[in-house]
């Protein structure tokens, strides 16, 4: 049986894999192998945060998994991870930062936009999530909210 990892190693791997996935998200002209690496990095990061992370870490890893699946054109997985992100954020609001809830709504908006006319899209269409995100976001006062501002400026169905 494999030796268990210590919490510091789980944290380091969670961070490193999250950052690697993000660099692959931003890379133009990824190869098929890099798409595979992107998906596996996001899931591996989520695994490590599941072992030692806070609810916020877990929610953010679910957000990234949703985003990766949007980028890769996989609406069902994107929706599942976005829904889990929202559940984690709404289930532990005292553990979240002010950007976590609008980020969850952003993930839902992107995932449902990608799904187009899929069965879930009619239950909670893009118009259900994006206005929640827009009305929830307080005036930008910090660098994290600049990220939300950037999300608002993007098309929710964008894949880059």
In a domain, 57, yes or no: yes
Chain mean pLDDT for the chain: 81
In a domain, 40, yes or no: yes
In a domain, 18, yes or no: yes
Residues near 79 by Cβ (< 8 Å), separated by ≥ 6? 66, 108, 111, 112, 115, 120
Half-sphere exposure of 119 (CA within 13 A, CB side): 1
- Displacement of CA 116 from its chain's centroid (Å): 19
Range of the domain at 92: 9-23+30-153
| For range 126-146, the mean pLDDT | 50
- pTM (2 decimals)? 0.78
pLDDT tens, position by position, 64-83: 999 999 999 999 999 999 99
- CATH number assigned to the domain comprising residue 43: 1.25.40
Q: Please return the burial class of 129, using the count of CB atoms within 10 Å of its CB with bins 0-12, 13-18 and 19+.
A: buried
Res. 153: pLDDT tops 90:
no
- Displacement of CA 23 from its chain's centroid (Å): 14
Q: What is the DSSP letter of 124?
A: S
In a domain, 146, yes or no: yes
Res. 160: pLDDT tops 70:
no
pLDDT tens, position by position, 14-55: 999 999 999 999 999 999 999 999 999 999 999 999 999 999
Total number of domains constituting the chain: 1
């Amino acid at each position: 049986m494999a030796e268990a990892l210590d919490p510091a190693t789980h944290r380091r791997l969670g961070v490193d894999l999250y950052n690697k996935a993000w660099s692959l998200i931003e890379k133009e002209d990824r190869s098929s192998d890099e798409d595979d690496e992107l998906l596996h990095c996001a899931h591996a990061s989520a695994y490590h945060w599941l072992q030692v992370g806070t609810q916020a870490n877990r929610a953010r890893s679910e957000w990234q998994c949703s985003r990766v699946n949007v980028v890769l054109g996989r609406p069902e997985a994107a929706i599942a991870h976005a829904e889990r992100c929202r559940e984690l954020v709404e289930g532990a609001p005292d553990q979240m930062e002010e950007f976590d809830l609008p980020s969850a709504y952003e993930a839902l908006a992107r995932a449902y936009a990608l799904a187009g006319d899929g069965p879930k899209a009619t239950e909670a269409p893009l118009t259900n999530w994006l206005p929640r995100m827009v009305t929830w976001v307080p005036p930008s006062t910090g660098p994290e909210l600049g990220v939300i501002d950037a999300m608002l400026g993007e098309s929710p169905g964008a894949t880059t």
